[in-house]
Structure 1
Amino acid sequence: MKKKALTSLAAAAAAVLALSACGGGSSADAGKGEINYWLWDANQLPAYKQCADDFHKANPDITVKVTQRGWDDYWGTLTNGFVAGTAPDVFTDHLGKYPEFIKNKQLLALDDAVKKDNVDTGVYNSGLADLWVGQDGKRYGLPKDWDTIALFYNTKLAADAGVTPEQMANLTWNPQDGGTYEKTIAHLTVDKNGKRGDEPGFDKNNVAVYGLGLNGSGSGQGQTEWSYLTGTTDWTHTDKNPWGKHYNYDDPRFQESIDWFAGLVDKGYMPKLETTVGASMADTFAAGKSVINANGSWMIGQYTGYKDVKVGIAPTPTGVNGKRASMYNGLADSIYAGTKKKDAAIKWVEYLGSAACQDVVAAKAVVFPAIKTSADKAVEAFKAKGVDVTPFSQQVKDGTTFLYPIADNAAKVDGIMKPAMDAVVSGKAKASSLTQANDQVNALFK
């Protein structure tokens, strides 16, 4: 189910308010038995299965059933579960989703449990715990990990083109001519006759290898697609974050940046949008069809795990304001308000948010756990595998990150912005058309 389908189910979700209001009760059975836990990232499944086994050994009356679903299926099934009253007891939550869940009273507030069990939210990376406090002042999740954006690149194809790691580490960008970032992307692009994108006779309609891979249009967030560029123009998605009430897709800085981004497709340096439908950008990269992929730190394991491709990781380009930029996102584990295993679910969420579990996740070298000490262990685990993750972690240390936009009406915003952005990136419209979409988005908050 596509993300826009969440909107159509929002009204139906209101029908279960009475169910969710009970909060699962505090019967004798609420603290034992089997609880269901869902996540979407297959790369993290082994770590959390181990956490579940370790938790069961310490709490023999509680068994955790771990289920992994792909991104689209995950959110569609979860939303249907809220409506039907069959949602999992505990699930991995996203900053872009949880405001709607709070609005529909589908999440259990954790404040009483955090206070009673003396959970120290100060152990998490700076600011992560605060992201999961809603506008009502209540806490709806304990942080599990965080992520940033960097550039994965095929070191052989880059070397064949004469592009050095030093050049990749010092790229610059601006929306007028693309800076050295566009020059590098162009040079790395090769048509089926062997002509590079910056050479005379380059055939943009018959490209064998694209300089930059495309994940999609980015909808209204552009997390991995373009936010690391627009972030260097000092443009922001909303008037404030979190809980903004006004979006800025009509800003000239944003529209100029998106026109540049869409222009890469027209120049033949990036795949056409229609070719990305149902395709995996990472798998296309592994097949040698693109040289650079801007992607999130949660993808480190997949990119570095390809046997036939040696992968380098470079920081995002320095942009208009003279700095780099990266969207900063933090996931958490939340409890379904209708759970019948409230006490057991709380114990599991507190365990997920503890060093006991997050150190296990760190050792797998897949993501950066939310706890500071665990994140440091993850960096060392990556290093032991020969992977330097500094391009991802440095932006946090340098303070050049910005938050994933947290606001109400996220599904409705996505329903407006995805087709609008698709039209621009596919060449059917100019970025100036996003002003009309912006008006529609802001009308949601009036």
Structure 2
Amino acid sequence: MKRMFAVLMVIVMLFSTAACSSSTDTSADKTGNTAQSGDSKSGGTTSGATSSDKTVEIRFSNWDGGATLDAYEAAINAFMKENPNIKVTNLNIPSEYDTKITAMIAANDAPEISILNSDTLLYPLAEEGKLVNILDLIKNDPEFDGSDLIDNLKYMRDPNFMAGYGIGPQNICLFYNPALFKKYGVEEPPAKYENAWDWDTFVENAKKLTIDKNGKNALDPGFDPENIDTYGVTFGKWWAIYMPLVLSSGGDYLNADGTATGMDSPEAINAMQKMADLIWVHHVSPTPIASQTMPGLSESIATNKVAMSINGQWTNSDLMADGVEYNVAVLPKIGSKAKTVMTAGCLSILDTPKKEAAWEFFKYMCSPGAVSALEKSGLWLPSVKSGYTEEYLKEMITDKHPANYYESICLPMLDGTAEPPTTSWVVNFSKINDVLTPALDPVWAGESSYADAIRGAISQLNAEVKGRRDK
């Protein structure tokens, strides 16, 4: 036991040394002149620990790479240009993020502001008193307009404590291949949620677009489901993909009072079975085995292997960069109204002596244009209501964005169609999900009905249910 403790302490000390070393390395040389232009952001004035001539150094931890990391660097440089008394170091941790952040906190070397996983670290840290209540910071800052924050992006530990806020939000939508719709004479899916296809229409059109090796579609006599050349639709098998359809059906992840799972309700069973039937009854979606050899969505659309895909809005970034001819549309509905769900990285401030400086950077990162490169790339959406003005969206949406981007992806963020991330309000989500995900494997494999699978896992699921944060 002593040997294990000694090893742990060595690891903590080594990581702390690396973190401290990285905090002295300015990011200016890495980004050159990539900082944003000089519009003043909501974090442009400083207060508290930032009001003197002394420079305050803070660290911003995150795990992203590629274009997102580059955008962070540019945002940091632009912020420091407007706030010369605050130095921000980009503490990028691409692997074992939760473990390393936990070690830093244990060593009293916590970063001042962090992107946190809402299904793992966020709420335990909030319950341990390691995070600052964002509501208190808003209350004490008369210059900040708290009403600009989007309610569904507030990660609330309880009604009186905001543990973090979702920046770079995204949602789930329908991607489609216009060339295939034109080729087979199928009407393109609607751009607005008020006109969403009902489920039967969606399945019917998916069948028309599913073509076997002999050129027959899934409605034709003699269609060969064992030799499909073009699939009508693909979809992921995780919570953000299936929850919009569960919600549209009238179901939810938990029951109304948060005492049990909601995934065994008749509404949830209906939605989940309909998704499985796309594979095994209607033969319009690839089986798990067939999916293993499917190319990525860019290549699948470019080579006419896929007509539609239920996927995350962030997929636009790859499709746009690859120059793929595609469009986006709204998800189909199972009940009376179609729905989608949001996803987002949660920006939180840790309870350190430099929380006032971290708050200034927090405000900047939430403001429209702070990470405009990610918004223009199709990867992120604006984080606050003021980012959805016609004026700003005209600047953000480029000629590379799909034609329906505004109606199908932007509008749902504010009109009630996009529901909050399931991870933001389900207590103990990760443990519940650890039970539910493998329980669904036989369903996607065609070895079990959804009803049988969920009944077989119900005791384990309910043992992990600890309540709702939104009640």
Residues of 2 paired with 1:197 and 1:65: CA distance? 55
Correspondent of 1:246 among 249, 260, 269? 260
Structure 2 alignment gaps of length 5 or more: 1-7, 13-48, 467-471
Instruction: Name the SS of the counterpart of 2:235 in structure 1.
Output: coil
Instruction: Name the SS of the counterpart of 1:202 in structure 2.
Output: coil
Instruction: Name the SS of the counterpart of 1:204 in structure 2.
Output: coil
Instruction: Name the SS of the counterpart of 1:183 in structure 2.
Output: helix
Instruction: Name the SS of the counterpart of 2:370 in structure 1.
Output: helix
Correspondent of 1:180 among 189, 198, 201? 201
Larger Rg: 2
Correspondent of 2:419 among 389, 402, 424? 402
Name the counterpart of 1:51.
Answer: 75
Q: CA deviation at 1:311?
A: 0.5
Instruction: Name the SS of the counterpart of 2:454 in structure 1.
Output: helix
Distance 1:194-1:259 versus aligned 2 partners, 3 A rule: same
1:353 matched to 2:366 = yes
Correspondent of 2:312 among 272, 290, 296? 296
Contact 1:99–1:407 (CA under 8 A) maintained in structure 2 = no
Distance 1:167-1:391 versus aligned 2 partners, 3 A rule: closer
Name the counterpart of 1:137.
Answer: 160
Contact 1:238–1:248 (CA under 8 A) maintained in structure 2 = yes
Contact 2:248–2:334 (CA under 8 A) maintained in structure 1 = yes
Give CA deviations for 1:302-322 in whole Å, capped at 9, x if unaligned. Answer: 233332x3101111123322x
Instruction: Name the SS of the counterpart of 2:328 in structure 1.
Output: strand
Distance 1:277-1:348 versus aligned 2 partners, 3 A rule: farther
Distance 1:189-1:199 versus aligned 2 partners, 3 A rule: same
Correspondent of 1:228 among 232, 244, 248? 244
Instruction: Name the SS of the counterpart of 1:141 in structure 2.
Output: strand
Residues of 2 paired with 1:207 and 1:356: CA distance? 45
Q: CA deviation at 1:182?
A: 0.8
Residues of 2 paired with 1:372 and 1:168: CA distance? 21
Q: CA RMSD in A?
A: 3.5
Residues of 1 paired with 2:171 and 2:342: CA distance? 5
Which has the higher mean CA deviation after the structures are superposed, 97-106 or 343-352?
97-106
TM-score relative to the length of structure 2: 0.74
Name the counterpart of 1:193.
Answer: 214
1:164 matched to 2:164 = no
Give CA deviations for 1:37-69 in whole Å, capped at 9, x if unaligned. Answer: 315374544433221110121233544344667
Name the counterpart of 1:420.
Answer: 439
Distance 1:166-1:365 versus aligned 2 partners, 3 A rule: closer
What amino acid is aligned across from residue 388 of structure 2 in structure 1? A
Residues of 2 paired with 1:416 and 1:30: CA distance? 51
Name the counterpart of 2:25.
Answer: none
Distance 1:280-1:437 versus aligned 2 partners, 3 A rule: farther
TM-score relative to the length of structure 1: 0.78
Q: CA deviation at 1:431?
A: 0.7
Name the counterpart of 1:204.
Answer: 225
Name the counterpart of 2:40.
Answer: none
What amino acid is aligned across from residue 450 of structure 2 in structure 1? A
Give CA deviations for 1:134-190 in whole Å, capped at 9, x if unaligned. Answer: 12722222442433322111111222121232678756334xxxx011111122112
What amino acid is aligned across from residue 173 of structure 1 in structure 2? D
What amino acid is aligned across from residue 345 of structure 1 in structure 2? A
Give CA deviations for 1:210-260 in whole Å, capped at 9, x if unaligned. Answer: 111132x22xx2x12x223222221122234xx934321111221122122
Name the counterpart of 1:4.
Answer: none
Correspondent of 2:410 among 390, 393, 413? 393
What amino acid is aligned across from residue 244 of structure 2 in structure 1? Y
Name the counterpart of 2:328.
Answer: 313
Name the counterpart of 2:113.
Answer: 90
What amino acid is aligned across from residue 415 of structure 1 in structure 2? D
Contact 2:57–2:89 (CA under 8 A) maintained in structure 1 = no
Structure 1 alignment gaps of length 5 or more: 1-11, 17-25
Residues of 1 paired with 2:198 and 2:92: CA distance? 38
Residues of 2 paired with 1:379 and 1:265: CA distance? 39
Name the counterpart of 1:23.
Answer: none
Name the counterpart of 2:19.
Answer: none
1:335 matched to 2:349 = yes
Residues of 1 paired with 2:308 and 2:348: CA distance? 35
Identical positions, percent:
22
Contact 1:90–1:335 (CA under 8 A) maintained in structure 2 = yes
Contact 1:230–1:257 (CA under 8 A) maintained in structure 2 = yes
Q: CA deviation at 1:380?
A: 4.6
Contact 1:41–1:69 (CA under 8 A) maintained in structure 2 = no
Contact 1:147–1:296 (CA under 8 A) maintained in structure 2 = yes
Contact 2:56–2:85 (CA under 8 A) maintained in structure 1 = yes
Residues of 1 paired with 2:290 and 2:111: CA distance? 35
Contact 1:363–1:378 (CA under 8 A) maintained in structure 2 = no
Larger relative CO (CA 8 A, sep 6+): 1 or 2?
1
Residues of 2 paired with 1:69 and 1:269: CA distance? 40
